[in-house]
Structures are given as C-alpha cells and as structure tokens.
C-alpha cells in the first residue's frame, strides 16, 4: 500500500513493519553525505600537499590528522549519543595520535602503541556477538605466512612489539568481519593498509606505497565511522 507524502511515494506496509520508508532513508543519506564533504576536502588537501621530500613537521602532522579529527567531529555532532559512537570517537583520537607519531620515524613505536589502543577500542565497540569463530581460520591462513615473511626482516627490538600489535590487529579484523556491514570492509582495509605499510618499511619499498596506505587507511576509518548509523540488523548482516 502506498501513499503520497511530500510529492513522493511512501510504502505504508513498510512503515507498519517498522522499517523506514525510502524518503526518510534518502534524507538520512543526504544528511550524512553533506557532513562528509569536509572530510573528503581534508583528504584532498593532504594528498595534494604531501611529498616524499617533505621534512617531518607539526604542520605536516596536523594536515595528516585532519581527516581523522574531522571524523571525530562528524560522529560527535551527527551521532553524539550511545556508547558505540563514543568508543569509535576514542579510537579515532588514538589513531590521530598514531598518525602524528608516524610522521617522525623515531616515534614509530609510539605510533604503533597509539594504534594498538585504537584497535582495542574498536574491539570493545564491535563486541563479541555474533562470535563467528569460523572466521579465525582464514585470518590465520592469511596472516601467519605474511608475518612469517615479515619476521625475517624485522630488527630484533621490533619483533615483540610488532607481534603484539599484529595479534591486536588480527583480533580487530575478526570482530569487524563478524559484525558485518561497513565495519567488515573497514576492518579489511585497515588490515591491508597496515600490511602494505609494514612491508614497505621493513621488507622492500613498494611503488606508490604511500598512496595505497593512506587511501585504504582513510577509507577504512570512514567505513568504520559510518557503522554508527547502521541498525543492529544491518550490522549483524
């Protein structure tokens, strides 16, 4: 059954079933899209200004962090309530700290620690329901050979910290895949970004590695942030 509302058709049966009609959903999408426009602008500014010849600086660190800091503002403004959103905001703030630290090579361990805390907050947000332990097998089959190859190229003082970080990252990937929705793709892209970054630093420089790392990283954080707007049913699917 349909009725006309504001010049558009609304499915009344959908409304009875407790599901939002198309106009309401489209309006929410447009609202979120408008709020994300500055995020894409800050990403564009970063990629336009970045150069491999750039020296580490606080200005460069700020420009790198601006997209992530904007996602915090975005969630705080558009979706302020709920523990899930607050945990995502905390993870994004920790990620911004990690981004700043990674601008200086000597602060790599500090950056990795900040990102480890971010992943722990994501783990807390994603929860343990549904558990889906079967996802652990493909994660292990992909991560163990990769880490085995990476291990032979690590400095001795990096073996333990990177092992601990890899375990936290794998756990975040597991819970992100189990949660589904945009969280699934965000967790996958985050893992891909870190894998390319580690290979480029410790094993062999890769062509366009920085572009791949930052593109997948910004996309990952955006997809995880957008999971705050998904219904529990969408998240579980």
Least confident of 11-25, 31-45, 215-229: 11-25
Residue pair 158/201 in contact by the 8 Å Cβ criterion: no
Q: Cα–Cα–Cα angle for 38, 126, 181, nearest 5°? A: 65
pLDDT digits (tens, 9 = 90+) for 141-175: 999 999 999 999 999 999 999 999 999 999 999 99
pLDDT digits (tens, 9 = 90+) for 180-231: 999 999 999 999 999 999 999 999 999 999 999 999 999 999 999 999 988 4
DSSP string computed for 177-217: HHH-HHHHHHHHHHHHHHHHHHIIIII---TTHHHHHHHHH
**Cis before 130? omega within 30:** yes
Residue 236 pLDDT > 50: no
Phi, psi of 23 (to 5 degrees): -60, -40
pTM of the model: 0.85
Q: How confident is the model at residue 78 (pLDDT cuts 50, 70, 90)?
A: confident
In angstroms, rounded to a whole number, what is the distance separating the alpha carbons of residues 78 and 73? 8
Average pLDDT, the chain: 88
- The separation between CA 140 and the C-alpha centre of its own chain, rounded to angstroms, equals 21
For position 14, what pLDDT does the model report? 42
- More confident site: 138 or 30: 138
- Residue 18 DSSP class: T
Residue pair 225/92 in contact by the 8 Å Cβ criterion: yes
Q: 5: which residues sit within 8 A by CB, 6+ positions away? A: 23
- Residue 2 DSSP class: E
Q: Residue 55, exposed/middle/buried by CB under 10 A (0-12, 13-18, 19+)?
A: exposed
Residue 122 pLDDT > 50: yes
Count CA atoms within 13 Å of residue 186 on its CB side.
26
Residue 8 pLDDT > 50: no
Phi, psi of 9 (to 5 degrees): -90, 135
């Amino acid at each position: 059954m349909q009725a006309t509302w504001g010049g558009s058709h609304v499915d009344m049966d959908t409304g009875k079933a407790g599901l939002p009609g198309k106009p309401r959903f489209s309006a929410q999408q447009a609202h979120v899209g408008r709020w994300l426009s500055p995020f894409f602008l800050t990403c564009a500014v970063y990629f336009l200004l970045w150069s491999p010849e750039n020296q580490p600086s606080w200005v460069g660190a700020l420009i790198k962090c601006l997209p992530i800091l904007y996602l915090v503002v975005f969630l705080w403004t558009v979706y302020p309530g709920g523990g899930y959103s607050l945990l995502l905001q905390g993870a994004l703030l920790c990620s911004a700290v990690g981004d700043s630290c990674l601008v200086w090579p000597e602060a790599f361990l500090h950056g990795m620690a900040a990102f480890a805390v971010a992943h722990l907050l994501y783990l807390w947000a994603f929860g343990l329901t549904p558990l889906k332990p079967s996802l652990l097998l493909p994660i292990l089959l992909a991560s163990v050979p990769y880490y085995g190859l990476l291990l032979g190229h690590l400095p001795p003082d990096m073996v333990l910290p990177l092992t601990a970080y890899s375990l936290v990252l794998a756990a975040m990937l597991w819970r992100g895949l189990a949660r589904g929705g945009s969280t699934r793709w965000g967790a996958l892209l985050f893992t891909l970004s870190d894998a390319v970054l580690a290979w480029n630093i410790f094993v062999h420089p890769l062509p366009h590695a920085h572009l791949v790392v930052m593109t997948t990283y910004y996309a990952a954080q955006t997809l995880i942030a957008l999971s705050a707007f998904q219904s529990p049913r969408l998240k579980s699917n």
